[in-house]
Structure 1
């Protein structure tokens, strides 16, 4: 992987620092006298480019490569601790003082702050390349939309932050989910118009910055969540039809899978700098099986290659008795040469989005074809189902099998389906209340901003 130039490291540090100070007005940091100002950053193309890279750099953080997988998987019916001992996430008893929940909130808003900084700085500048400026603003809008998407899906009504002005953000009230989604759609639509259509003008063509197709992929997901079936199908098809860039990987191996750097299925990945392993492969889903799949082998049909290639059997260290199966999509441990990246968006999700939208639009044949793309990759046969309700159940199951332990998909699917109370209320070791579908707004955020109102149940 090509590393960013060392000369940009200082600029990255500036944006990470300003992001932190913008998100938490209680943090008081004295900047060095020689610190770059925002005005200086947006004078030249190289420093502005580095500022955009700095938004992505800020995403090399626990919310993106750890918490979205691990915490959301446990609050759903997906992951359980290997020890079998329930915790606040697997039992859905999260307190508002929980540190990991607070970190998720802070890091998502830090990304938004850094994106706003780029949007404002590039917009105000009169010396930057106008073509590149459009692209940089589009990238920032995409990343702002991505962060707002998770914020409103995890916490419901949240502050909609579109400025770096601390006088505005410090006491920003919560906006409705409708308002947040309206802005997300606006940002993604704007981004899709001005983002590049390929990766050639990024670092050696690496898939680590947003293209038009990343915006289209997220537009497909957002429209699916909003039950706008025609729009979801259109945006998913826009990505699927880019066959010169994106293809479903077949013949899964350790070196040929959707989590390898720059693979044909990857739409957007987060790089790890100066290393060739992933945090997912070393800590979150290592060979020791810190977290098990709650449904175990029962999740998969007989012969499903995803069970073979993407899970690992876990046995008692003393008795060697079988305990369960653990996610093992990411293989790269410390010191290994497998070149992986945290995968934010990949093509398989688009087939599943389009399949669901097509069922809702009564295009049964088209939905079957999309489902079969995913099933055939897993070495499973074509579906013979034609009933709409049965197909929707199969799609939900294929989403669970294909996207397990990735970016909180199962948790968000349960919430948008309307079945979350029924499904999680029947899990014996959960202390489930309907208000648990939203996470608690962190106590530190409420203390910092008295305009925030705690979510019901907390």
Structure 2
């Protein structure tokens, strides 16, 4: 099982992934762990090389249990930066408020410690893997293993660069472990970084297996294969406005019905090894503080939901809401850290089952000082209370089939195939449709033919907003790549005074102070 491999990596096979890292101080601060061995030893056999590359995934899960861009940070802070979430305590949480207001200060360590630093550490390790796997010093590796592991390293390198450019804009493009070549690298234009992503992902798709049987006896979907590379490549093409290739690659994934289908049950979409999953990350259930849960669950869920305490009986709920003291005696256990903005909540149409399946709420009394408002928050991941012994019921969902339908719908609309785009949107809407009731006799109706291209693209954006909320920064990145961010985010009261510099996070001050060729993003003075 992969879990056993993770244990080996964490305990033993840091094995040279990090050797020579201590010399790479100028680009990112990376400490060399104790008891490392040389890269040559780490890649001296098929088994050790496989363990070393599996260790790259372990890095994404943060062996010390801290959050990073690949296991919770992106979904949370990009949602605050967009129009999806607000901190329940408002200005009482200064770091969160910096993201939701767009005023990130020099004392905010999140962009550096949880995004930039971790991403570049992973990139360095991917570069080391590619160099070792392609070099003459590892003759014991067979060709198939060498090819597959190189593909995984290139996938993870492209994955890291995708989030770097979308958070920071232009970034240094580091493709070697040679410190002499990287120590004074300037920021490369985003388009150049995207071109490298396309190369890496195209090569990975050609190099990786087209199944999951190589991962574990359970065929866990927790390592990159051909379809993960193809799915991320489809997204990259969409972001580059290469709609023909976005259509081609997303169609390739969608067409593989032997491996991928949309889950009919919304409550199971994020379960481990669900057939909607193209790629998931597997957490190590023995690593605190998350254990068998996820950072998404820890970030978004209170100790108990309102329904878990009060139950489903309307009379019981009415009793708690009619007495402020009684309400406050239990609501402290149900307070979410973050809740939906009015803009996100209003995006859900009548009869959209995703609101009930993937979110829940804390109501409030209509008695002063309360206003009767309900605070909705994400519940795509179900565990807030975690266990070091139980198997994880959910893995981190990294790439899933629904996004591929939405990529294809947008590509079709941009290319003029409006009916084809609507057909893909209606597949997603059909899955999200609740049962008809007397109150909502026509829930989430299908979109009808005859819409203009502008309206179809607006429908795509709307469907992405309600399907992909609080997932991997989709909304924040969508607003930026489609040119809508200034209009949408600039109209929000909580982000005033608005300026476009809020769309990029600051380059870490440490990088600027140690490399004169790296300049800060506009709007930041540190």
Asked if 1:314 corresponds to 2:362, the answer is yes
Q: 1:270 to 1:421 in 2, by over 3 A?
A: same
1:147-185: CA deviations, max 9, x gaps?
A: 111111111111001011122222211111121111111
CA distance in 1 between counterparts of 2:413 and 2:213 reads 36
What SS does the aligned partner of 2:71 have?
helix
Q: 1:117 to 1:78 in 2, by over 3 A?
A: same
Q: 1:126 to 1:382 in 2, by over 3 A?
A: same
Alignment partner of 1:77 out of 68, 80, 83: 83
1:232–1:357 Cα contact (<8 Å) kept? yes
Q: 1:448 to 1:232 in 2, by over 3 A?
A: same
1:35-84: CA deviations, max 9, x gaps?
A: 31111111111110011001111101422222101111111111111123
Find the counterpart in structure 2 of residue 24 from structure 1: 25
Asked if 1:341 corresponds to 2:395, the answer is yes
Q: 1:370 to 1:211 in 2, by over 3 A?
A: same
What is the 5 A alignment of 1:272-311?
A: 272-274=283-285, 275-286=291-302, 287=305, 288-294=335-341, 295=343, 297-311=345-359
Asked if 1:99 corresponds to 2:164, the answer is no
Find the counterpart in structure 2 of residue 123 from structure 1: 134
CA distance in 2 between counterparts of 1:351 and 1:55 reads 29
Asked if 1:426 corresponds to 2:484, the answer is no
Task: Tell me the matched-pair count.
Answer: 454
Asked if 1:162 corresponds to 2:209, the answer is no
How large is the RMSD of aligned CA atoms in angstroms? Answer: 2.2
Find the counterpart in structure 2 of residue 407 from structure 1: 472
CA distance in 1 between counterparts of 2:146 and 2:23 reads 23
What SS does the aligned partner of 2:14 have?
helix
CA distance in 2 between counterparts of 1:439 and 1:270 reads 25
Q: 1:307 to 1:118 in 2, by over 3 A?
A: same
The alpha carbon displacement at 1:8 in A equals 3.7
What SS does the aligned partner of 2:493 have?
coil
The alpha carbon displacement at 1:284 in A equals 3.7
Find the counterpart in structure 1 of residue 57 from structure 2: 56
Q: 1:97 to 1:16 in 2, by over 3 A?
A: farther
Q: 1:169 to 1:10 in 2, by over 3 A?
A: farther
TM-score computed with the length of structure 2 as normaliser: 0.82
Find the counterpart in structure 1 of residue 323 from structure 2: none
Instruction: Provide structure 2 residue ranges, at least 5 long, that are not aligned to the other structure.
Output: 286-290, 306-334, 434-443
The alpha carbon displacement at 1:319 in A equals 6.1
What is the 5 A alignment of 1:389-400?
A: 389-400=454-465
What is the 5 A alignment of 1:117-266?
A: 117-124=128-135, 125-204=138-217, 205-253=219-267, 256-257=268-269, 259-266=270-277
What SS does the aligned partner of 2:403 have?
helix
CA distance in 2 between counterparts of 1:150 and 1:300 reads 27
Q: 1:284 to 1:120 in 2, by over 3 A?
A: farther
CA distance in 2 between counterparts of 1:285 and 1:415 reads 28
Which moved further from structure 2: 439-448 or 407-416? Answer: 439-448
1:199–1:206 Cα contact (<8 Å) kept? yes
Which structure has the bigger radius of gyration? 2
The alpha carbon displacement at 1:110 in A equals 1.1
1:316–1:322 Cα contact (<8 Å) kept? yes
Instruction: Provide structure 1 residue ranges, at least 5 long, that are not aligned to the other structure.
Output: none
Find the counterpart in structure 2 of residue 353 from structure 1: 407
1:246–1:264 Cα contact (<8 Å) kept? yes
Which moved further from structure 2: 148-157 or 332-341? Answer: 332-341
TM-score computed with the length of structure 1 as normaliser: 0.94
2:222–2:280 Cα contact (<8 Å) kept? yes
The alpha carbon displacement at 1:15 in A equals 5.3
Asked if 1:4 corresponds to 2:14, the answer is no
The alpha carbon displacement at 1:232 in A equals 0.5
2:208–2:225 Cα contact (<8 Å) kept? yes
Asked if 1:324 corresponds to 2:337, the answer is no
Find the counterpart in structure 1 of residue 328 from structure 2: none
